[in-house]
Amino acid sequence: MHNKTFKAAALGLGMIALSTLSACGSTDGDGSEGVAAESKTVTLVSHDSWAVSKTVLADFEKTSGYQVKVLKDGDAGQAVNKAILTKDNPQGDVFFGVDNTLLSRALDNGLFQPYEAKGLDQVGSAFQLDAEKHRVTPIDFGDICVNYDKAYFTEHKLTPPASFDDLVKPAYKNLLVTENASTSSPGLGFLLGTAAKYGDGGWEGYWAKLKANGVKVVDGWEQAYNEEFSGSAGGKKAGADRPLVVSYASSPPAEVIYGDPKPTTAPTGVAAGTCFRQVEFAGLLSNAHNSKGGKALIDFLIGKEFQEDMPLNMFVYPVRTGAQIPAEFTQYGPQAKDPETLAPAKIAEHRDDWVKSWTSLVLK
């Protein structure tokens, strides 16, 4: 979610892809590997935005005795789809990054096995969308929103858009870039935000107007934000010409914190009336080779140390009650006051049909 790979982008790092371990030992009845050397490694599969401070991860490895191996698998939508395709012989033990927009797809395909994490009583009940079976554990939340390039709108003496309605106005023609709803988590979140706003009978008409107003669609967040959006550090270097992008309410503080040179104020803003609430989860993969290590890792992810480390690494909010949030994070990236939401059952019932209709309407 969450503010995807800002730290890596700021440091000029490319996508990290670590090879998974070969399973060459026997497997115990609980799914733990029978070979001691292998059982000391636990593999986390995630989207590209996974990030944690080295010292925090080292604390877990020292305390638990497990070495963490990370496999980053593209945008969240791509990573979830790949995990489903490989569920019988999974790439790892724990999957992090499935969100409320894709949760039913993962659960319906049997991607995860039940595990009630230690410390779950410290997580708000509103985030526990699989509370009866505990197949997933909530880790973070944030808001998918349209971001704008402040300098562009100042230079053109144009008021930035504030709502979904504004985005279809002639003044904002050819200014917006968004992600593909069929391959990208923020792209899907933006689509669901419009479905929540305009309803079953209105969202398609809205997208027809948005298409007529020149919206550009790219595969994923990384391309949209760091290559197409003129307000990002990467976009400026690439000569990007789109001053509006679907990103996160927490994107502005990332631009401040990782800016080089560091700006004194956020160069980007958020259109508060375009937000959709996103919750991300982690789960123990159904055929995990090291389920014992996977459980320990999930416990760590909702522990206080990781939860407080998370905001300035992944630019999302912690779900753990009482976890402290850095001042600069809240100063430049406050939570949306009234984000659009959809019930998980509503998403499960309509998501695939909505995406098909969106694809036919917008991409053809």
pLDDT in tens, the chain (364 residues): 544 444 433 333 333 233 333 333 334 444 444 434 457 999 999 988 899 999 999 999 999 999 999 999 877 888 899 999 999 999 999 999 999 988 999 999 999 999 999 999 999 999 999 999 999 999 999 999 999 999 999 999 999 999 999 999 999 999 999 999 998 889 999 999 999 999 999 999 999 999 999 999 999 998 999 999 999 988 988 899 999 999 999 999 999 988 888 888 899 999 999 999 999 999 999 999 999 999 999 999 999 999 999 999 998 999 999 999 988 887 887 778 899 999 888 999 999 999 999 999 999 8
Residues 143, 123: Cα–Cα separation, whole Å: 18
In CATH, the number for domain 6-141+279-332 is 3.40.190.10
Residues 65, 34: Cα–Cα separation, whole Å: 16
Roughly how many angstroms between the first and final C-alpha of the chain, as a whole number?
Answer: 28
Residues 152, 260: Cα–Cα separation, whole Å: 19
Look at residue 84 in the predicted model and tell me its pLDDT.
95
Look at residue 55 in the predicted model and tell me its pLDDT.
98
User: Which segments of 66-199 are extended strands (E)?
Assistant: 67-72, 94-99, 112-113, 137-149, 176-179
From-to residues of CATH 3.40.190.10 in the chain: 6-141+279-332, 143-276+336-362
Q: Name which CATH class applies to 143-276+336-362.
A: alpha beta
Residues 44, 42: Cα–Cα separation, whole Å: 7
Which helix or strand (DSSP H or E) is residue 285 part of? Answer: strand 276-285
Look at residue 176 in the predicted model and tell me its pLDDT.
98
Task: Give the three-state DSSP class for 223.
Answer: helix
